[in-house]
Structure 1
Amino acid sequence: MVTAPLPHFDSEHFSPLRAFLRWSSRRALRWVYRETTVVRLGVVPDTGPVLFIGNHPNDLPDVLLGLQACDRHVRYLATIAAGVGGAAGMGYVAMGVIPVTRVRDARKMRAMGVDMAAVNAEAGRRVAEAFACGDVVGVFPQGGVHDSPQIGRLRTGVAMMALKTLDNGSVFDVTVMPFGVQYEAARTLRTDAMVVVGRGWSLRGWRAERLAAGLEASVSALTDQLRTSLLGVTRNAPDWESAQERDEIVAAVSAVQPPATSASQAPLLERAARLVPIAESLVADHRSDGATPHAARVHTFVSELSQLVLEAGGVRTSARDHARVLTGAGLAAEARVKPIWALLLMTPAALIGWLTHAPIFWLVWRLAHRFAKARSDVIARACVPGLQVVAVWYLLLAVAAVFTLVATEHATWLTLVALVLLLTQLPTTADVAVAWRDGWRGHALVWRVRRWPASRRAEIVRVAAALREEWKSGYSHQ
C-alpha cells in the first residue's frame, strides 16, 4: 500500500487548523516551560528556499521551539508512523508536513502495508517541490529523538535530498540554517529553554568551494558539514556528568555578570546561550590530565555557588535561579521577578486558573510519566495527548456548568453567553495561573535567601565575586 499523495501546500493561504495548531503549541510551551527565548546569531532569509536543521533531544518540544525560532512557516519532515489518518493526519496536512519512513519503523510499516521506498521517494519529490516554492523545510538530521549528551552521527538522507534538489535544477541555491534547542533541565517543569539560530550558509557555495579545493562534495561530506553546523549551536559533552558541569558553569557565570543594559527581552538567557562553547572547553580542560589552575578554580567556585542555589530550593543548572539567589544575598542580578503589586492584581484570575486547571494539569503530568517509554517522551506526552485531555476537561466543565444552570433554573440567554465567554478565556486563565506561580516562586527563592544568616549570605557574595573575577581574568574579552 502506498499512502495517498499529499495535497498542494501553500503557506500563504490561511488555514484555521494550522492557526489553531500554532496557538496550541505556544500554549503547550507556556504551560511547561518558564521562559522560551530565541537567540539569533544568524537570521533566516525572508524569502527563498531554506533547509532548517535542528537537534532533537526532547521530542515534540524541539519541534514547537523550532516553529518559534523561525518567522516563516516551517514544513517539517516527520515520520509517517505518527501521522497516518485521523487527527494526526489532518494536522500533517495543515502544517505542510512531509512524511518519511525510518528504519526503526520498518516492522510497523510492513504491518500497515506501507511501501517505505515509495514513501521516501515521494518525500524527496515533495522536498524538491517545497524548495522550488521557496519554502522553509525543517529537518532533524539525527533521524529521531536522541536522548544523548552530544550530537551523534547524522543520517545521510537529508544531505542526499538537498544535493538532488540542486542537481535537478529545481532551484539555484538553498540556504542552510542550523538551530539548536538548549534546555536548562529538559524534563524539569518551569525551567527555561533557548533556541539558538546559527549563521546560514549557501549550499551551492559550499559545493563550489569544495570542488575548487579539489575535495569531494559528496553526500557524506555534506552530512559532516551539517553536523559541524549543529555543533556550533547546541550543547555537547562526552557524558552526562560533563554535561551537568557545563550547564552549572553556564548558569552560574551568566548570573554573576553585571546586569545587561541592552534592550534584549531576555539578556540573561541570551548570555547563557553564548557562554556554552566556552563552558564546554572549560569542562574538557578540567577533566583532562593537564587541567589548568584556571579551570580548577572556576569549577570550585561554580560548584560552591550551585550547591548554595540547590540548598535555597533552586535548580543547579538554572541561570534564573542563580540570579535570584544572588538578589537575595544583596547583589545586583537579572532575577526577573514580577512586582508584588502585579502578582496581587493577577491573583483573582490566577485562582480561577488553578481552580479549573490544577486537577487536569496534575492528571496530565501523571499520565505523561505513566505512559512515557523513554525520558524524552515525558514532556512530549504532556503536550500531546496532554492538550487533548485538557480539551476534554473543558468540555466536561461546559457540560457541568450548563447542567447546573438548567437544574437551578438560571439558564437564560445572558447566562449562556457569559458561560461561553468564560470558557473561551479558560486557556488565558491557565497562562495567568502558571505565570502567577512562577512569580511567587521567584519571590520565595529571594526571600528564603534573605532569611539566611548574614554569614551564609556573605558566603554567596564572596563566591560570586570570586567567580566573576576569575572569569574576567580568563575571558576579559567576553
Structure 2
Amino acid sequence: MFSIYELLVAFFSLALRGFFREVKSRGSHKIPPSGPVIFCVAPHANQFVDPLMLLTNCGRRVGFLAAKKSMDKPHIGIPARIMGAIPVVRPQDLVKAGKGKIYMDTENPLILKGIDTEFTRVLHFRALIKLPQEAGAFEVVEVLSDTEVKIKRAVEGKEAVALLSSEGGTSYKVIPHVDQADMFNAVTERLERGDCVGIFPEGGSHDRPELLPLKAGVTIMALGAMYKNPDLNVQIVPVGLNYFHADKFRSRAVIEFGDPIQVPSELVAQYGKGGPEKRAACAILLDTIYTSLKAITTTAPDYDTLMVIQAARRLYKPPHKRLNLDQTLLLSRRFTEGYLKYRNDPRVQDLTGRVLEYNRLLSYYGIRDHQVQRTAVGRLWALSRLLARVIELLVFAFFGLPGLVLTAPIWHTARRVAAAKMVEAKAGSSVKIWGKDVVATWKVLTAVFLIPVFWFLYTLTSFLVSYFILDLGRRPSLIVTAVIATAIPLLTWATIHCYDHGADIFKSLRPLWMAVVAGSSAQPLRDMRQDLAERIARGIDELGPELYGPDFHSTRIVRAEDVDYGLRLSQKLRRGEGFQTQDFRWDEVDEREFSDDVFLFKDETRGVVQGVWGDVRQRRARSL
C-alpha cells in the first residue's frame, strides 16, 4: 500500500509534469541511500515549486523547513505537515513599524534616542532596529528607557548616518529576536533518526540573478547535531535549481545534485568550544557549502550581465548542433565563469557592448536571436514554408481548441491570480526585483484547485444535459457522463501537447514572414550576428586555455571543428547560399532537445544531420 506521503509525491510530480515541458535530474546517484542528510537547495527562485522539485526527484523522504507564516495557511500547511515540514518562525515575518522617530546621540555612537517612542514596550534584548531604504539594522543590547536604547555596534554607513542625523529623526521598524531552540531540536531529532531535512539557506524566495548571502542556520544544524551525538554522520548534499523561464508555463528546468559534503570532526570539535571558535567553524562550513552550490548553479551578479551571457551562449552555438539541457546549462555556466574572470579585459568589454547593441537591434526588429538566420531564405521557398506552417498550426489548433475552450477559465484565472500575487510579493520584499518567484507557484496552486472543480462541473453538466434535456434515460446518461468524465483529463493532456508543438511552429512564422516581405532589410542584423559569432569564437579560443588550462580543448562542450564549420555555414546562409542539397535537409526531431526552431544542417564533421527548423516530424528525411 502507498502511504499518504507517496501519494502526495506522485500528485506533485503530475502537477510539475503539467507545468514544465521538461524537468531533468542530474547527479541523483550522489545522494546517500541512507543515513542523515541535509539537502541544501539554491537558488530559491520558485517559492513552493522549489521544494516540490526536490521531493519528486531525490528518491528519499525529505522534511523541509518552512515558514510558519506560510504553514498557517490551510492550502499550504495541510500538505506541508503531511510531508513532514518543520515550521520556522522567521523574524522578518514579525516585523512591525516602530512608534515615533529615532535619531543618534551625537556624544555616544552606541545610543539611539527616540521622539514619542515606547522602547520599553516594543524592544527587548537582541531585537533589531531596522532603518528604511535598507540603510542598516542595529541589534539592541539594553533598553534604557522609553526614549533611549543601547545598540551593539556604532552607527556606520553614509545612508544610516544621514537618516539618524536628519532633523526630526527617522522612521524605523522593529524585528523581534526569535528563539529557534525548538526548531533546531526538531531538526536534530530528524537527523538522529537517519531522516532527511531540506533547507533553503538563502532564506526566502527571490527572483534575483545571483545567490543571496547564505544564512548560517544550516551549519548550526549539522554541527550542532554531530556535537550532540558524536556517532552521527550528517552529510550535506548541495542541490542546484536551474530554470529556463521559471515563471512560464511549459518551460524547462534542471535539478542538479552535487557531491555530498562530509562534515570534518575538527569543525565539530571547534564548534563545541563556543564563542568565536563556534562562529569560525560555522563560517568555514558555510563557505564550503557556498562553493559547492556555486559549482552546480548558474548565477550572475546582475540581470544585464545574465542577458549578455545568455546572448553570447546563443551566438556561440553552431547552427548545425543540438545542445540538450545538460550541455546548455554547462555552457551557460562556463560563459559565466569566463565573463566574471575577464569582464575588465578591454576585449571582453568591447564584446559586451556589441552584444548589448545586438540585443537592442533584436528588440527593434521584434524577433529573437534564433530567428535571425531564418530571414536569409528565398522568398518563394519562405512563402511555401510559411503556408505549410500555417496549415500545420491550424491542424494543431483544430485538435487543441476543444481542450483550450474547456481549460480557458482555469488558465485565465491562474494568470490573474499569479499576476496579483507577484505585485503583492514585490511590495512586501526588499530583495525581489519583480516578484516573479511566486508566479509559477500560484499558477500551479490555482490550477490544482480549479481543475477538479471544473472537471466535476463539466461532468455534472453532461449528466444534466443527457438526462433532463436530451431525455436519454438514466443508464445511457450515466454512460455518456462516464465517457465524458474519462475524456476530459485525456483531452486536457492532449491540449498541452498541441500547445507545445503549436508554439514551436508559431515561433517560426515571424522570420518566414520577414523573409517573404522584407528579407533583405534584415541583412544588417545577419551581418552583425555573424560578426559577433566570429568574435566570440576567437575570444574563447584565446581565453579558454588560459581559464581552464591545457585540457581545455579536450573538455570543450562544443568542439573547435564544430564551431569553425558552423561559422562557415552561417556565412553561406548570410550570403543566401545556405540551401544546397548537400548542406540542408529535414529530419525527425526529438522534442526533448533544445530545438526551438533552429536550422537543420548536415554536419560534415561527423557525417550526420543535426538541428531543426521547427518541430516538424517527418518519418523520412527528404532533400530540398
Superposition TM-score tier, normalisation by shorter sequence: 0.7 to 0.9
Q: Which has the higher contact order (CA 8 A, sep 6+)?
A: 1
Shift of 1:34: 3.5
Which of 315, 333, 336 aligns to 1:280? It is 336
The answer on whether the counterparts of 1:245 and 1:283 sit within 8 Å (CA) in structure 2 is no
The answer on whether the counterparts of 1:132 and 1:171 sit within 8 Å (CA) in structure 2 is no
- Structure 1 partner of 2:472: 410
Shift of 1:189: 3.8
Does residue 300 (structure 1) correspond to residue 360 (structure 2)? The answer is no
Q: Deviations 1:282-315 (Å, cap 9, x if unpaired)?
A: 4435653xx242564476368637955994644x
Which amino acid in 1 is paired with 2:412?
W
Does residue 444 (structure 1) correspond to residue 506 (structure 2)? The answer is yes
Structure 2 gap ranges (5+): 97-175, 272-276, 378-388, 426-434, 545-551, 557-624
SS in 2 for 1:469: helix
Shift of 1:357: 0.6
Which amino acid in 1 is paired with 2:207?
D
Which amino acid in 2 is paired with 1:304?
Y
State the distance in 2 between where 1:61 and 1:459 align. Answer: 42
The answer on whether the counterparts of 1:329 and 1:461 sit within 8 Å (CA) in structure 2 is no
- Structure 2 partner of 1:264: none
Q: CA distance change for structure 1 residues 222 and 418 in 2, over 3 Å: closer, same or farther? A: farther
Given the two structures, how large is their TM-score scaled by the length of structure 1? 0.76
Does residue 369 (structure 1) correspond to residue 419 (structure 2)? The answer is yes
State the distance in 2 between where 1:144 and 1:310 align. Answer: 37
Q: Deviations 1:239-266 (Å, cap 9, x if unpaired)?
A: 222222223334444x437536xxxxxx
Shift of 1:221: 2.6
- Structure 2 partner of 1:334: none
Report matched runs for 1:142-181 at 5 Å: 142-169=202-229, 172-181=232-241
Greater CA drift, 225-234 or 361-370 = 225-234
The answer on whether the counterparts of 1:50 and 1:134 sit within 8 Å (CA) in structure 2 is yes
Q: CA distance change for structure 1 residues 364 and 124 in 2, over 3 Å: closer, same or farther? A: same
- Structure 2 partner of 1:131: 191
Report matched runs for 1:38-53 at 5 Å: 38-40=25-27, 43-53=30-40
- Structure 2 partner of 1:221: 284
- Structure 2 partner of 1:394: 455
- Structure 2 partner of 1:336: none
Q: Deviations 1:185-222 (Å, cap 9, x if unpaired)?
A: 333444333223222221246838999xxx97622332
- Structure 1 partner of 2:59: 71
SS in 2 for 1:403: helix
Greater CA drift, 55-64 or 417-426 = 417-426
State the distance in 1 between where 2:231 and 2:212 align. Answer: 30
Which amino acid in 2 is paired with 1:82?
S
The answer on whether the counterparts of 1:36 and 1:193 sit within 8 Å (CA) in structure 2 is yes
The number of equivalent residue pairs is: 431
SS in 2 for 1:271: helix
The answer on whether the counterparts of 2:375 and 2:512 sit within 8 Å (CA) in structure 1 is yes
State the distance in 2 between where 1:42 and 1:382 align. Answer: 31
Q: Deviations 1:106-135 (Å, cap 9, x if unpaired)?
A: 369xxxxxx9967x4333233223223332
Report matched runs for 1:353-364 at 5 Å: 353-364=403-414
Given the two structures, how large is their TM-score scaled by the length of structure 2? 0.60
Shift of 1:52: 0.8
Which amino acid in 2 is paired with 1:300?
R
Q: Deviations 1:23-51 (Å, cap 9, x if unpaired)?
A: 44334434444333233397212222221
- Structure 2 partner of 1:6: none
- Structure 2 partner of 1:88: 76
Does residue 268 (structure 1) correspond to residue 324 (structure 2)? The answer is yes
State the distance in 2 between where 1:420 and 1:461 align. Answer: 56
The answer on whether the counterparts of 2:187 and 2:221 sit within 8 Å (CA) in structure 1 is yes
The answer on whether the counterparts of 1:132 and 1:170 sit within 8 Å (CA) in structure 2 is no
Q: CA distance change for structure 1 residues 387 and 68 in 2, over 3 Å: closer, same or farther? A: same
Which amino acid in 2 is paired with 1:106?
L
State the distance in 2 between where 1:166 and 1:292 align. Answer: 50
Shift of 1:361: 0.6
Q: CA distance change for structure 1 residues 350 and 218 in 2, over 3 Å: closer, same or farther? A: same
- Which of 1 and 2 has greater Rg? 2
Q: CA distance change for structure 1 residues 99 and 460 in 2, over 3 Å: closer, same or farther? A: same
State the distance in 2 between where 1:210 and 1:164 align. Answer: 11
The answer on whether the counterparts of 2:65 and 2:198 sit within 8 Å (CA) in structure 1 is yes
The answer on whether the counterparts of 2:315 and 2:529 sit within 8 Å (CA) in structure 1 is no
State the distance in 2 between where 1:326 and 1:274 align. Answer: 25
SS in 1 for 2:242: strand
Q: CA distance change for structure 1 residues 427 and 340 in 2, over 3 Å: closer, same or farther? A: farther
The answer on whether the counterparts of 2:219 and 2:282 sit within 8 Å (CA) in structure 1 is yes
Report matched runs for 1:206-245 at 5 Å: 207=267, 218-245=281-308
Q: CA distance change for structure 1 residues 417 and 392 in 2, over 3 Å: closer, same or farther? A: same
SS in 2 for 1:443: helix
- Structure 1 partner of 2:439: 378
Greater CA drift, 229-238 or 457-466 = 457-466
Shift of 1:103: 0.7
SS in 2 for 1:256: coil
The answer on whether the counterparts of 1:181 and 1:194 sit within 8 Å (CA) in structure 2 is yes
Greater CA drift, 275-284 or 302-311 = 302-311
Shift of 1:404: 1.6
Greater CA drift, 66-75 or 340-349 = 340-349
Which amino acid in 1 is paired with 2:283?
S
State the distance in 1 between where 2:25 and 2:314 align. Answer: 17
Shift of 1:365: 0.6
The answer on whether the counterparts of 2:312 and 2:355 sit within 8 Å (CA) in structure 1 is no
- Structure 1 partner of 2:143: none
The answer on whether the counterparts of 2:225 and 2:232 sit within 8 Å (CA) in structure 1 is no
- Structure 2 partner of 1:112: none
Which amino acid in 1 is paired with 2:418?
A
SS in 1 for 2:225: helix
Greater CA drift, 468-477 or 232-241 = 468-477
Shift of 1:424: 4.8
Q: CA distance change for structure 1 residues 80 and 301 in 2, over 3 Å: closer, same or farther? A: closer
Structure 1 gap ranges (5+): 1-12, 109-114, 261-266, 317-321, 331-338
State the distance in 1 between where 2:260 and 2:330 align. Answer: 17
Q: CA distance change for structure 1 residues 272 and 427 in 2, over 3 Å: closer, same or farther? A: same
- Structure 1 partner of 2:16: 29
Does residue 419 (structure 1) correspond to residue 481 (structure 2)? The answer is yes
State the distance in 1 between where 2:419 and 2:359 align. Answer: 31
Q: CA distance change for structure 1 residues 428 and 142 in 2, over 3 Å: closer, same or farther? A: farther
